Each structure stands twice: as C-alpha cells, then as structure tokens.
Structure 1
Amino acid sequence: MITLTVPEMTCGHCVGVISGILTELDPDCELNFELATHKVSISSSLPRDAIIEALSDAGYDCE
C-alpha cells in the first residue's frame, strides 16, 4: 500500500482525475481517497516513483 499526500486534491473532480490516471496505468489498482487530509492510498503493483511521475505530469504534486 502506497499513501501519498496530494495538496492540490481539493474536490471530487480532482479525485476523479487522479482515479482516472491511476486506473489507466493499473486497471486492477485499489484506491482510497481522504479529501479532508489530501491523502490517497493506492494498492497497486506499480512502483511508487511511476505513480508520483504520472500524477506530477498531470499537475498534481505528491509528498
């Protein structure tokens, strides 16, 4: 399980965009979003760096 803080994730639209990006990379990934804390937990076979790079390319910086 990978947990990232995505400060720019502030609304349901952001969740949808991030979900689309990650499920395109790994259709079998499982995602859990916590908008209040800007956190997304990802269960995936993808490496952490690949996830961070994909989100960064879409304008979502991760911590």
Structure 2
Amino acid sequence: MSQQTFTVQGMTCGHCERAVQTAIKTLDPQAEVRIDRAQNLVEVNTAQPREAVAAAIREEGYQVAA
C-alpha cells in the first residue's frame, strides 16, 4: 500500500466528501481515506495506482490537480 495525496476541487459539503470516499472505497474496499475539505486534500492509503484513484474521483465530477 502507498500513501497518495490529491488536491481535489469542487468538494463543498459533506455529501461531496461521502461521494469521493465512496468512489475510492468502491475501487479499493481496503483503502484508508482521509479528507480535509477546507484544504481541498484527499489522502488515500491504497494499493491501487494513483491514476486509477484520480479517475475514480473524476468520475464523481470533481477536479483532481495533476
């Protein structure tokens, strides 16, 4: 597993946080997800490739900084 940090734009409420967390957990049920909405940060501890996690977040409609 590796620690990955993403800057995610567009998370404005608790529902947004849950959507991002659910997308990541669907990709990897074992993932550990921490979200800091105030800083636009999503920290993920997962075995999945970084691009796969970013794609899952983007599919929910959020922007992920490169």
Normalised to the residue count of structure 2, the TM-score between the two structures is 0.89
Off by >3 Å, runs of 4+ in structure 1: none
Return the letter of the residue paired with 1:19: Q
Number of aligned residue pairs: 63
Contiguous gaps of at least 5 residues in structure 1: none
Q: CA RMSD in A?
A: 0.8
More strand by share: 2
1-side partners of 2:40 and 2:13: how far apart? 9
Contiguous gaps of at least 5 residues in structure 2: none
Which residue does the alignment assign to 2:58? 56
Residue identity (%): 33
Secondary structure class of the residue paired with 1:18: helix
The answer to whether the 8 Å contact 1:10/1:38 transfers is: no
Normalised to the residue count of structure 1, the TM-score between the two structures is 0.93
